[in-house]
Amino acid sequence: MQKYDLVVIGGGPAGMAAALKAKECGVKKIIILERAATLGGILEQCIHAGFGLHYFGEELTGPEYAHRFIEQVEQTDIEVKVDTMVLEIRNGNIVVATNAVDGMLELHATAIILAMGCRERPRGALDIPGSRASGIMTAGTAQKYVNIDGYMPGKKIVILGSGDIGLIMARRMTLEGAKVEMVCELMPFSGGLQRNIVQCLEDMGIPLKLSCTVIQTHGIERLEGVTIANVDENRRPIPGTEQYVECDTLLLSVGLIPENELTRMAGIIIDPVTNGAVVDENRQTSRPGIFACGNVLQVHDLVDYVTAESQIAGEGAAAYIRNKPKGRNRYVSVKGRDGVRYVVPQNINENTDKDVKLYFRVADVFRNARIIVESDGKVLYNKKKPKLAPGEMEYVVIKADDIRALEKKELVVRLEVQQ
């Protein structure tokens, strides 16, 4: 069995940023295990621009953003194993993995960072009745076919779901000569970034149909069309609004699910809202020495935020490796209420010496709402925002002094909507 100070599972933007930060903080023996053939994760197929505006202050493509980190990793002594799939995290922080070079690997880690990313919600989970024809796939799968393999998966496209990958693919398929008939969104608002709606749909002349869904697929071998319908406020199809749309391809962009199978197997507590681990401000999970960051922890819309979060995890893991803390941490718990769906981190060490950024998402579109952070009636933060939307992650900063001074070990993030 080989010993490492830090094993990072996943070599996408999260894993790389976490490993680099840990290295910078003095961790000696680090290894990144990546299941794909290269580092970079999903960024490798995101060839559009729009990455890095916050972190680098310039607009990069996905591969460019990834390569800035890959180059940095290459300049360190961080070991990398690609084409390597982690199968299990056993007791005592033993990471079991397999690849074609080493066969089976058993790595003993002082600390582990989980950075496995997320996957797209497939058709089955949506329960769309109809045929099992070919031509129905997630937007991300289509993105790989077009951008990596160089093939078009269809000519006449309907996109269900206005998540960012769906919006990006609407534009991409149009630029490649396909006709994108429409994007249907079940909710009365898009789950994607505003800038993507403008640049990928409006600029391309692609209609976005809100409160509309696909209720049936048609075609025995290849998809021939879909039936769409408007939905009511309970998201149920409204009889009489059905419409047949001819198409050979249905792309799904209906949500992302953090890939936490390893996390669950390791017995780590999962937040039922984020579907990611419950973590503290250092991104440590309920299992001491195991950290999580990036889309495996919560689905982000901007990679820049993934990088920032992963650096926190890298720093946290480095401190853990250095101090090998014993005993239980005492936490202030953080909760979302009144329109705040969730907050990450869910816990903060009560004696933290750093200011803490609380990341959260709202449940609906709100205009001129106040974001309030309070504890036992005492307000720590109160600020008005002109617009809040589920598709855009928000954050507020809470001072370390304020956290340490809390009497009740609970923080609530909530919205106050002006009538």
| Count of all residues that appear for the chain in the document | 419
Phi, psi (degrees; rounded to nearest 5) at 223 = -55, 135
Shortest distance, position 242 Cβ to another protein, whole Å: 12
Q: x/- string (CB under 8 A) for another protein, residues 201-220?
A: --------------xx---x
One residue of 92, 177, 239, 386 binding another protein per CB under 8 A:
177
| 269 scored as a contact of another protein (CB under 8 A) | no
* Residue recorded with tokens 């796939």: 137
Q: Are strands 136-138 and 249-252 parallel, antiparallel or unpaired?
A: parallel
Q: Are 6 and 23 in contact (CB under 8 A)?
A: no
Helix (H, G, I), strand (E, B) or coil at 204: helix
One residue of 25, 53, 94, 96 binding another protein per CB under 8 A:
96
Residue 231 tokens, joined: 């939905």
One residue of 34, 44, 120, 164 binding another protein per CB under 8 A:
120
One residue of 92, 150, 239, 327 binding another protein per CB under 8 A:
150
Phi, psi (degrees; rounded to nearest 5) at 64 = -65, -45
Shortest distance, position 225 Cβ to another protein, whole Å: 13
| 138 scored as a contact of another protein (CB under 8 A) | yes
Q: How far apart are CA 3 and CA 26, in angstroms?
A: 17
Q: Is the dihedral of CA 335, 340, 342, 343 positive or negative?
A: negative
| 137 scored as a contact of another protein (CB under 8 A) | yes
One residue of 71, 91, 100, 234 binding another protein per CB under 8 A:
100
Shortest distance, position 33 Cβ to another protein, whole Å: 12
| 265 scored as a contact of another protein (CB under 8 A) | no
Q: How far apart are CA 285 and CA 35, in angstroms?
A: 22
* Residues in binding contact with another protein, number by CB under 8 A: 51
Shortest distance, position 381 Cβ to another protein, whole Å: 35
Side chain identity at residue 311, one-letter code: Q
| 78 scored as a contact of another protein (CB under 8 A) | no
Q: Are strands 410-417 and 331-337 parallel, antiparallel or unpaired?
A: parallel
Q: How far apart are CA 291 and CA 238, in angstroms?
A: 45
- Residues that bind another protein in the complex, under the rule CB under 8 A: 35, 83, 85, 87, 96, 98-104, 106, 119-120, 122-125, 127, 129-135, 137-138, 140-141, 144-146, 148-155, 176-177, 215-216, 220-222, 261, 264
